[in-house]
Chains A and B, each alone.
Chain A
Amino acid sequence: MSEERTMIVSKIERGTVIDKIPAGKSLQLIYMLHITGDEMKTVAVGIHVNSASMGKKDILKLTNRDLSGAELNKIWLIAPDAVISTIKDYQVSDKRPISSMRSGNEFEGVLKCNNPTCATNFNEPVKNKFILMDRDPLLVRCYYCDRVMIEDNIKDQLGM
């Protein structure tokens, strides 16, 4: 409960709460989710909030906002232990760790391959697919061509 009191907005009517984000990573996530502040939707950001399980953590409360599959993948890249709650009528209608919402180390829909001679860059109807190799810093491999991309190569694409 002490966490809740540190938040400026305690309850939202409808939206999504992203909890258990590694401390200090929430701003990065805001950029990655393209939350600009222009949408006239309330966003509450908790940075370095006390947490029983993590010591310190970040938390995001997004009103009237759902997450797409690609956005879940983005969050998972940065915050693999995040807990996602869906809020309806001020009630938590669904609450799950992100790890249970997707499986394996592969992810789709987030990145394009930066190998200019990768078949996925040539008008094929495939979805880009990558394998996560490391998280801090990010290291990913294209499932199709085996190209390894380091965090510096993919920052722009991720909006980091």
Chain B
Amino acid sequence: MINHIVSIKDIDKETILDIIQYAAKIEANPEVYAEKQKGKILSTIFFEPSTRTRLSFESAMLRLGGKVIGIADPKTSSLKKGESISDTIRMAAAYSDIIVMRHFLEGSGRVAAEYSSVPVVSGGTGIQEHPTQALLDLYTIYKEFGRIDNLTIGLLGDLRYGRTIPSLLYAFAKFNNVKIYLYSPQQLRARMTVLSDVEDKLEYRVEDNLEDTIDQLDVLYVTRVQKERFPDEQAYERVKGSFIISPDTLKNAKENMIVMHPLPRVGEIEYDVDDLPQARYFQQAKNGVWTRMSILDKLLEERK
């Protein structure tokens, strides 16, 4: 196992499978784990607000019987006053048994891990990575197909600044024969440095048109295309429409294809899709709690 989770790059395939298979065990019998980490404390340190990720981790720790302390509002806390990551983490490590941190700077996860005497789990580091989101996404896919190998996965939306995209690509690259189709506006294509990391291990294709290739996909993973990423409103409006999923978009999709989204959505998936058999994004959010229970429990047990 590992001491911290700050990058998917640090985690091998066996550990990924171990985490998702353990998440499945927890989901099947949550009551067995209800007091597993009794007396342990999780610190949630969010230098950048994120209600969902924080709540998901808090729920996970409480369901393990542990307790949660945290700094949730960077505007009113010392985090805003320029306290360094290293000092904040040393303080949190003194108060708790495990730390979840989100930070708007890339590299913050590795700095935190270096200064922490307790396990650090990244809740997102700038545009660099969001490893636990990728792990819960893999759990969702694994639950559906019973495997990660031999699947064709479409990633759609903001592939450049979306912090989960590198984590997902690094994760898929560890499995066998995963094909990736990348759909995004030109200015939001996946970063070359990320693609060059996986190109030997993963077959990926930059695709312009979802309609022509959707029939090949097992998974369609949709992410938000944010207005702020475009130079002006018109540029955003021009591309926006091509990255919205409606029931019509899915008409040629395989029957057992699933649509995923890390949420929150802002119109990328129409509400009409929610009732279709392919929609998986709400279950995906729920899977986040099981996956994070698995991660927290494994890291805490490792230290015993």
Interface residues, chain A, CB within 8 Å of chain B? 113, 115, 117-120, 122-126, 141-148
Contacts and interface: CB of A to CB of B under 8 A. Distances in A.
Nearest first, the 4 closest Cβ-Cβ pairs linking A and B are A144-B107, A145-B107, A145-B106, A119-B107
A119 B193 contact: no
A113 B107 contact: yes
Contacts of A145: 105-107, 126, 128
B111 interface: yes
Nearest to B114: A126
Nearest to A144: B107
A145 B163 CA distance: 12
Interface string B136-161: 00000000000000000000000000
A118 B107 contact: yes
- Most chain B Cβ neighbours within 10 Å, of A118, A119, A122, A125: A119
B126 A117 contact: yes
Given A119-B111, A126-B111, A147 B106 contact: yes
A143 B113 CA distance: 13
Contact of B106 (A124, A125, A144, A148): A144
Contacts of A141: 193
A122 B106 contact: no
Contacts of B103: 119
B104 A122 contact: no
B116 interface: no
A95 to B, nearest CB: 35
A52 B36 CA distance: 67
Given A115-B106, A144-B106, A144-B107, 14 more contacts: A115-B107, A117-B126, A118-B106, A119-B103, A119-B106, A124-B84, A124-B86, A126-B114, A143-B110, A144-B110, A144-B111, A146-B106, A146-B166, A146-B193
B110 A122 contact: no
Interface centre among B86, B105, B107, B114, by most chain A C-beta atoms within 10 angstroms, is B107
Nearest to A113: B107
Contacts of B114: 126
B133 interface: no
- Most chain-B Cβ atoms within 10 A of its Cβ — which of A117, A141, A143, A145? A145
Contacts of A115: 106-107
A115 B166 CA distance: 17
Contacts of A122: 84-85, 105
20 contacts: A117-B106, A117-B126, A118-B105, A119-B103, A119-B107, A119-B108, A120-B111, A122-B105, A123-B84, A124-B111, A125-B84, A126-B114, A142-B107, A144-B111, A145-B105, A146-B128, A146-B166, A146-B193, A146-B194, A147-B106
Contacts of A124: 84-86, 111
A125 B107 contact: no
